[in-house]
Amino acid sequence: MSAVLVLPGTAPEAEWLEARRRGITASEIAVVMGLSPYSSPYALYHQKTGDLPGEEENDAMRLGSYMEGFVADRFAERHPEFGLGGDGRTLWAHMDRPWQMATPDRIVFEAARISGPNLAVLECKIDGGSDGWGDDGTDEIPVHYRCQVLWQLDVMGVTTGFVACLFLHSRQVRVYELTMDDQAEADLELMRNEANDFLYRIRFGFPPEVDWRPATSAALKRLHPDVEDTDVIIPATLGRRYRAACAAYRKAEHRRDLAVNQVRARLASGHRAVLPDGELVARRDVYDVKEHVRKASHVDKLVPVKPKEAKS
């Protein structure tokens, strides 16, 4: 075991949050890199400094935790040569870099042994249809999960990481395998450097730049919830950029609405819009929403179809 135990899964929540605050965990490294679809460097910075509360658990996160055991069991059925340990709550740190932390869902070891030596880590996921997943048995997973798993490999001192994912639309579990190859080593070096820079910002009070991400918008609103009757001078270049962005956004909306109406005109009463080669571009969905679901309404929408979805 090359990792150092920081906190067991039975530790109080307050201790857990405080320990995580002192470093960068596997679930946070993609945020630091600006690759997470769920948060942003700006929001994470203010959570680490205590200006904002930590991420609140939502139903999607609760479902993921609830299904973790099921997904782990499906992995174990496919790989009887392995044994699984851990509870998905134990916090570990790198032996030489205590700020580099991870909480693997499961530790993988030889089935013939009761425990260790560790062979790999296992992450258990559920997915409703996002991009970035390859075929079963490959190493093609969304980039933010790749960051998470590689970080865990580095912390735990193992060279293999498995990701078992339950795809809700197909009700199937696929298993992916990542290894510590040269590309992984290069990616980790970049991630460690970014994490060090991020911790330096926290130590000396230099927040990351504001970006476009929704998590940054939410953080700014929570940091400044009140409005005072004051004038604030902003740079002229920022003011011009803001106005130009608003104008460009309106023009883009108009171009989109024009294209939607042109497709609708071609479709008439049709259901699917396809290219001459048969590739699906969009479909028209029309249905009524009953009162007991939400406010009764009639829906008539044109749904764009991505090229990848059209092929499946």
Would you list the domain boundaries of the chain? 4-220, 233-266, 269-312
Helices 182-204 and 41-48, packing angle to 10 deg = 50
- The 10 Å Cβ neighbour count of residue 129 is 10
Inform me whether the pLDDT recorded for 299 exceeds 80: no
The DSSP H or E segment spanning 23 is none
CA distance 90 to 229: 48
Q: Per residue in 13-59, pLDDT tens?
A: 888 788 888 999 999 999 999 999 999 999 999 999 999 987 776 77
Q: Per residue in 152-206, pLDDT tens?
A: 999 999 999 999 999 988 889 999 999 999 999 999 999 999 999 999 999 999 9
CA distance 169 to 186: 35
Is the model's pTM score more than 0.85? no
DSSP for residue 198: H
Cβ-proximal residues to 232 (8 Å cutoff; 6+ apart), any chain: none
The per-residue pLDDT of the chain, averaged, comes to 89
**Cα–Cα distances in angstroms (integers) from residue 193 to residues 11, 53, 199, 210, 248, in the given order:** 30, 26, 10, 20, 36
- Burial of 176-197, coded b for 16+ CB within 10 Å and e otherwise, reads bebebeeebeebbeebbebbee
Inform me whether the pLDDT recorded for 296 exceeds 80: no
What is the percent of the chain where pLDDT is above 70? 92
Q: Per residue in 79-135, pLDDT tens?
A: 999 989 888 889 999 999 999 999 999 999 887 666 557 889 999 999 987 788 999
Cβ proximity of 184 and 153 under 8 Å = yes
∠ Cα 276 278 283 (to 5°):
105
Q: How confident is the model at residue 294 (pLDDT cuts 50, 70, 90)?
A: low
Q: For 4-220, which CATH class?
A: alpha beta
Tokens 């992450």, residue located: 123
Token pair listed for 117: 């030596």
Between 9 and 286, residue with greater pLDDT: 286
Inform me whether the pLDDT recorded for 302 exceeds 60: yes
